[in-house]
Amino acid sequence: MAGVTQRYCSRCGSRLNRYNTGSFCASCEGTFRDNLRQPPDVPPSFWQADLMRDALATWHMGRVIFAFRTHPHHARSLPQERVASWLGLTQAQLSRVEKGPAPEQLSKLTRWAETLQIPADLLWFKVPSRGGDEPAIRSDHQDSEGEADLQLARWLMTDGMKPRIPAGDSRFEHAALAFEDAYRYFDGSIVEFFADTLMRCKADDRAQGPAAALSLTLGLLGAIRQHGKDVRPNVRRSLLSLGADGAEFCGWLYRDMRRPTPAGYWYDRAVDMAQEAGNLPMQGYVLLRKSQMAYEERDGVRMLTLAQAAHQGPWQLPVKVRAEVIQQEARGLAMLGESLSVVERKLDDATAILTEDGSDENDSLTAGYNEQTHLLRTASCYVEAGKPARAAELYGGVLTAGHLSGRDEGYFRARHAGALALCGEPDQAADEGLLAMACAVETQSGRTKRELSRVVDSLSRWHSRPGPRALLGALSEDAATSRRSPSSVLSP
C-alpha cells in the first residue's frame, strides 16, 4: 500500500503484515510462546547478575520473581500471567506477591524456588534435600500446608473417604474434625481452605485448560453440598457464597468444552446459591456470563437482554464488571445491526467507567478483567459492527504484548484470524489460525476450535491456497482424533 513503510520481523527478517503492530512475525511469536510453556533453563550467570543478587538479598520472594521475569536474558519481559501459571497463582495474586509484604509460608517459598530452579545456595531458607531433610526457614516458620492441601483435595474427590492423616498436622486434624462434626468444627478456616482450592482450580484452567480443573472443582462443589446443610448459619452463608463462585466457574469450564447444557445447569446453581447467601453482585455477574454464552451461540437477542438485565438489576456491581456489562450491551447492539455511532457511545461509557476507583472490589469477580480484556472485547464489537480492520489492529496489539494465558491466547488468536479473514488477508489469517489451533489442542478448548471452524468458513473462497488448506487440515485431523479417542467429561 502506497505511503506505508514495510516492516520486518526483528528475529528472522520476514515481512510483517500491516495489521501486525509488534516486532515479530507469527512464526517467531509462536516460537516465543512455545518456549514459555514451562520455566526456561537459564545459565549460571543468570543468577549472578546484579539485578538478581540485589533481589535475593532482600529476602522477598516477590521481588525475586519480578527480577526473574524482567531479566535481560529473556530478551523481553516474561508475562506476569504466564509466570503466575507456573507458580499455581492467578495474575492478580502474583501482582500482590510482587508488590506486597514478603511471603513467609515455607511451603510456598520452597515450591516457587523449585519451580524457577533458583540455586539453593542463594536462598535465605533451606529446601528439602533428596535425602529427605526437613526444610527450615531462618524465621523458624514451618508448616505442612502443601501436604495437607493435597490430602484434603483427594478427600474432596472421594466423597469424604478418610485419607491418611499426617502425624502432628494440626491443620489437617482440624479439617478432619470439621468433616465429621460440621456444626461444631466447620469454621472460617475451612471455608478459606475451600477458597484456596478454588483459586488453584482457576489457575490450572488458565494454564492447562478446563480438563485440568473440572474434577477437583466438581469435588469441591460436592463437598459444599454435602456439608453445607450441617454448618452454622453464618458459616453456611459464607460457604454458599463460595459455592456460587465455584458453580459459576464450573459453568465456564463446560462452556469452554462446548457443553452448553451442563454450563447452563451450573450457572443456574450459581444463582440459587448466591440468592440464599445474599450475594447480589454474583447474581448480576452470572447474568453477564449467560449473556456471553448466548453470544457464543450467536443468539443476539438473548445476549442483549441478559446484558441489560445484568446492568439494570438490584445490585451494585464492581466497577470492572459494570464496564464489561456495558461492553456486552454494545456487542449485542452491534450484532443486531445498530449503527456504529450507537455502539461506540456504549463503548465510550464502558471505558469511562474503568477510570473509577475499584481498588476495594471483590477479586473473584474482577480478576479476569483488565485493560487487555477491555481492548479484546472492544475488538469483538468492531467485528460485529462491520469494521474488521479496526478489530484486527486491536487484537494484534494485545496478542503482541504477550500477557494472555495459554487458553486465552488461543481463543483470541482465533478471533484475530477471523478478523483478518474478513479483511481479505487469507494467508495471515491462516497463520494466526494455526497458532490458535496449537493452543486449542494443548488446552482442549472446544470454544477456540469452534471459532476456528468459523475462520475456515470465512476462508472458503481461498481454499486452494496453502495456508487456508493447512488450517482446514489441522481442524479435520483434530476432529478425527477426537472421534477415535473421545474424552471422558464429568456431567452434573
pLDDT score, position 479: 84
What architecture does CATH give domain 26-122?
Answer: Orthogonal Bundle (1.10)
Find the DSSP H helices in 314-464: 319-335, 340-354, 363-366, 371-384, 388-401, 406-422, 426-443, 446-458
CA atoms of 11 and 340, how far apart (whole Å): 39
Domain extents for the chain?
A: 26-122, 146-278, 405-482
CA atoms of 449 and 437, how far apart (whole Å): 7
pTM of the entire predicted model: 0.69
pLDDT score, position 215: 81
pLDDT score, position 133: 41
pLDDT score, position 152: 53
C-alpha cell at 382: 468492531
Helix 260-277 vs helix 280-296: angle between axes, to the nearest 10 degrees? 170
pLDDT score, position 146: 46
Closest by Cα among 427, 432, 434 to 416? 432
C-alpha cell at 402: 504477550
CA atoms of 414 and 30, how far apart (whole Å): 14
Question: Cα torsion at 358, 67, 197, 324 (round to 10°)?
Answer: 30
pLDDT score, position 390: 96
pLDDT score, position 1: 45
Residue type present at position 442: E
CB 235, CB 122: distance < 8 Å:
no
pLDDT score, position 155: 54
pLDDT score, position 488: 45
Residue 73 CA neighbour count, 13 Å, CB half: 17
CA distances from 490 to 198, 219, 259, 453, 463 (A): 17, 11, 11, 25, 37
> pLDDT per position in the chain (492 positions), as tens?
455 577 777 666 777 777 776 666 766 666 555 556 678 888 888 998 888 888 887 888 999 999 999 998 887 788 888 898 888 888 888 988 999 888 878 778 888 998 899 998 888 776 665 344 433 334 333 334 444 455 555 555 454 444 444 445 455 555 555 566 555 666 667 777 778 888 888 888 887 888 888 888 888 888 788 777 777 787 888 889 999 999 999 999 999 988 888 899 999 999 999 999 999 999 999 999 999 999 999 999 999 999 999 999 999 999 999 999 999 999 999 999 999 999 999 999 999 998 876 554 556 787 778 888 899 999 999 999 999 999 999 999 999 888 888 888 999 999 999 999 999 999 999 999 999 999 998 888 889 999 999 999 999 999 999 999 999 999 999 888 776 554 444 445
pLDDT score, position 31: 58
Question: What 8-state DSSP symbol labels residue 388?
Answer: H
Residue 140 CA neighbour count, 13 Å, CB half: 0
